[in-house]
């Protein structure tokens, strides 16, 4: 087991001299060091992001609401700026649009998301009131970086927890985070010092080439998924792509950390730690080279499509949560039209207000589209009754949405393609998507 | 009986002997694992609905969501052995408190097959594989 070197103050926390909650948090972090091989903790100077309320970090390390009340009474705060990703756990209800969310709660047939009493419970208001008093910013989005307004800067040490945001933090922002955001890391402002906190581990290890220039949203999404599958937990350096848009970065980050365990990547000339190809590899040769070309992209596209029927019962967009430009484009596509099958769209809670002010909420509502915020269909773990085939435009949702519907007859099918193809499916109830 | 001993790095200590269940593909959590039944629910996965409870779960790496840590809850494996280490394996070991090892001198994926008996001695930093007969 790794010996963990602690500062005198960290030792005092561990011994309980700084209160029960700091002791529990420190015990949790020390054990994390022992497991990961980290020899010490690092003081975070960036930001925190966590699944919340998140009081139970593991069956062995948990704090109570009463502990939170005492912390608040003593005027205690999170040590670093801390954001709540996703909507409240474990129910993960939509923040907006829950009244129209006519599905049951995860594996509980009799409990529905559109029941006001359930929604009230699921929002965990007391915990969040206390967490807000401690400084938590309850942005409730899997694409938190869209509404944070305060991003860690290059080189800052962070602790985040949301699969698509880890590579965003590392690769896109150039800040440094392992997948470990929790109450302990955010409250103490400390994290085990290993992995991507260390410069040497941030350099590329696998060179990725492609014979098809990656340009469109779908290409970026499929490419991300296929790269993740191919490189697993390595640090890929992506070449042969066009410059990604914000939407495409959202898709890439969620797809690459769904197909694989990629927490860091480089796009030479585009991401901040890769001014050149050589720099991205830290001056070393790649350990491996892979080609994600036409054949591999096609294979990934076919894998993500999981349907025998072309009859679509429902369309789900907004994985990760849509940014404001995507909402504008979606409103434009649906303006003056009417959906034939339910179409649910998910965005970040604070962008819901912006979309309302811009008139997009009304346009979408007039087309019969349901705009929601904060949640995730796969995370909620159900589809409306009777839905047997769903259309989506992201690899992440396509990959996860079937896992939580353990119907005895395995009936949920998935059509995966472009946003336009999904919009067409919403308007016609038919899937006409194809790999082009 | 042929025994193969491989040294590795201990993540979580302990000593247990159980039958191996080998996943040729990386394992994914979140919706794609069911800790109550103790099996993966990822469609098209070679271990789709194959129970891992009480087994030595051998896999190349994790992939995807932070919900990977659900493998460490509920009806969990007896031990975790994986080729590549990552922060989600750390979180999983934190949840499970069962022996967990990685960074082996020889890739256990090349040695262990489903059904082999594996002694995981994470206290002393090695595994010992007894190949199944036949």
Interchain CB contact of A257 with B (< 8 Å): yes
Q: Which residue has the tokens 């001993």?
A: B5
Q: Which residue has the tokens 């940014």?
A: A323
Q: Which two tokens stand for residue B29?
A: 């959590």
What is the ipTM score, two decimals?
0.97
Query: Has residue A423 got a pLDDT over 60?
Result: yes
A residues 328..387 contacting B (CB < 8 A): 378-379, 381
Give the residue-averaged pLDDT of A369-397. 95
Chain A closest-CA separation from residue B2 CA (Å): 29
pLDDT at A404: 78
> Rounded to 5 degrees, what are φ and ψ at B92?
-65, -45
Q: Which residues, in sequence order, are bridge partners of residue A238?
A: A208
Query: Has residue A254 got a pLDDT over 80?
Result: yes
CB contact under 8 A, B13 and A163: no
Query: Has residue B105 got a pLDDT over 60?
Result: yes
> Rounded to 5 degrees, what are φ and ψ at A164?
-75, -20
- Taking contacts as CB-CB distances below 8 angstroms, the residues of chain B near A161 are 66
Give the residue-averaged pLDDT of A188-198. 98
- Taking contacts as CB-CB distances below 8 angstroms, the residues of chain B near A1 are 10, 13
Alpha carbons A329 and A348: distance in angstroms, whole number? 16
pLDDT band for position A138 (cuts 50, 70, 90): very high
Alpha carbons A216 and A72: distance in angstroms, whole number? 48
Q: Which residue of B has its CA nearest to A37?
A: B11
Mean pLDDT score across all residues of chain A: 96
Q: Are A140 and A321 in contact (CB under 8 A)?
A: no
pLDDT band for position A408 (cuts 50, 70, 90): low
CB proximity list for A120: less than 8 A, separation 6 or greater: none
pLDDT band for position A409 (cuts 50, 70, 90): low
Give the residue-averaged pLDDT of A20-35. 98
Chain A closest-CA separation from residue B1 CA (Å): 31
- Taking contacts as CB-CB distances below 8 angstroms, the residues of chain A near B95 are 58-59
Angle at A86 between CA A147 and CA B60, to 5 degrees: 115
A residues 158..177 contacting B (CB < 8 A): 161-163
Q: Which two tokens stand for residue A122?
A: 């699921």
Mean pLDDT score across all residues of chain B: 96
Alpha carbons A311 and B58: distance in angstroms, whole number? 40
Query: Has residue A398 got a pLDDT over 90?
Result: yes
Query: Has residue B36 got a pLDDT over 70?
Result: yes
Stated pTM of the model: 0.97
Catalytic: which of B61, B65, B86, B100?
B65
pLDDT at A106: 82
- Taking contacts as CB-CB distances below 8 angstroms, the residues of chain A near B42 are 399, 403
Q: Are A297 and A219 in contact (CB under 8 A)?
A: yes
pLDDT in tens, A275-325: 999 999 999 999 999 999 999 999 999 999 999 999 999 999 999 999 999
Residue B65 among the catalytic residues: yes
pLDDT band for position A406 (cuts 50, 70, 90): low
- CA neighbours closer than 13 Å in the CB half-sphere of residue A388: 11
What percent of chain A is predicted at pLDDT more than 90? 94
Q: What domains can be seen in chain A, in order of their start residue?
A: 8-88+124-199 (3.30.499), 203-302 (no CATH), 306-428 (3.30.499.10)
pLDDT band for position B40 (cuts 50, 70, 90): very high
Q: Which residue of B has its CA nearest to A142?
A: B65
Query: Has residue A97 got a pLDDT over 80?
Result: yes
pLDDT at A400: 95
pLDDT in tens, A99-126: 999 999 887 878 999 999 999 999 999 9
Chain B closest-CA separation from residue A220 CA (Å): 17
pLDDT band for position A366 (cuts 50, 70, 90): very high
């Amino acid at each position: 087991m790794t010996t963990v070197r602690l500062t005198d103050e960290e030792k005092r926390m561990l011994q309980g001299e700084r209160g029960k909650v700091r002791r529990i948090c420190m015990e949790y972090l020390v054990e994390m060091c022992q497991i990961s091989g980290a020899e010490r903790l690092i003081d975070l100077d960036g930001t925190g992001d966590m699944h919340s309320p998140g009081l139970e970090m593991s069956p062995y390390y948990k704090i109570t609401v009463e502990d939170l009340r005492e912390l608040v009474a003593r005027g205690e705060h999170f040590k670093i700026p801390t954001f709540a990703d996703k909507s409240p756990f474990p129910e993960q209800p939509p923040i907006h649009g829950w009244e129209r969310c006519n599905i049951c709660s995860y594996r509980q047939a009799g409990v529905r998301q559109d029941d006001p009493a359930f929604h009230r419970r699921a929002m965990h208001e007391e915990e969040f009131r206390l967490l807000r008093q401690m400084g938590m910013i309850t942005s409730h989005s899997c694409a938190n970086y869209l509404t944070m307004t305060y991003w860690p800067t290059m080189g800052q040490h962070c602790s985040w927890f949301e699969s698509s945001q880890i590579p965003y933090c590392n690769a896109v922002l150039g800040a440094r985070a392992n997948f470990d955001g929790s109450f302990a890391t955010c409250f103490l402002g400390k994290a085990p010092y290993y992995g991507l906190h260390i410069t040497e581990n941030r350099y590329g290890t696998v060179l990725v080439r492609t014979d098809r220039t990656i340009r469109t949203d779908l290409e970026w999404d499929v490419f991300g998924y296929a790269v993740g599958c191919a490189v697993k937990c390595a640090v890929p350096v992506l070449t042969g792509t066009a410059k990604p848009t914000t939407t495409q970065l959202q898709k890439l980050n969620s797809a690459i950390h769904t197909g694989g365990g990629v927490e860091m990547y480089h796009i030479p000339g585009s991401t901040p730690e890769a001014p050149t190809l050589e720099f991205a590899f830290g001056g070393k040769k790649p350990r491996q080279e892979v080609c994600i070309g036409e054949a591999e992209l096609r294979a990934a596209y076919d894998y993500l499509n999981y349907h025998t029927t072309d009859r679509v019962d429902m369309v789900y967009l907004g994985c990760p949560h849509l940014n404001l430009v995507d909402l504008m484009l979606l409103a434009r596509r649906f303006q003056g039209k009417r959906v034939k099958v339910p179409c649910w769209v998910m965005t970040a809670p604070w962008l819901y207000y912006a979309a309302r002010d811009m008139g997009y909420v009304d346009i979408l509502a007039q087309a019969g589209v349901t705009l929601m915020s904060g949640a995730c269909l796969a995370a909620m773990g159900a589809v409306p009754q009777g839905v047997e085939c769903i259309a989506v435009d992201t690899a992440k949702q396509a990959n996860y949405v079937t896992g939580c519907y353990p119907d005895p007859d395995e009936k949920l099918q998935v059509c995966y393609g472009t946003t336009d193809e999904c919009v067409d499916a919403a308007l016609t109830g038919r899937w006409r998507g194809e790999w082009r | 009986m042929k025994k193969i001993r491989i040294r590795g790095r201990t993540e979580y200590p302990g000593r247990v002997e159980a039958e191996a269940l080998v996943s040729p593909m990386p394992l994914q959590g979140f919706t794609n694992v069911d800790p109550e039944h103790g099996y993966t629910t990822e469609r098209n996965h070679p271990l789709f609905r194959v129970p891992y409870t009480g087994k030595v779960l051998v896999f190349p790496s994790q992939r995807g969501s932070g919900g990977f840590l659900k493998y460490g809850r509920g009806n969990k494996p007896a031990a975790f052995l994986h080729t590549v280490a990552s922060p989600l394996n750390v979180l999983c070991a934190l949840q499970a408190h069962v022996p967990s090892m990685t960074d082996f001198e020889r890739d256990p994926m090349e040695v262990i097959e489903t059904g082999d008996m594996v002694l995981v001695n994470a206290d002393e930093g090695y595994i010992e594989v007894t190949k199944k007969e036949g």
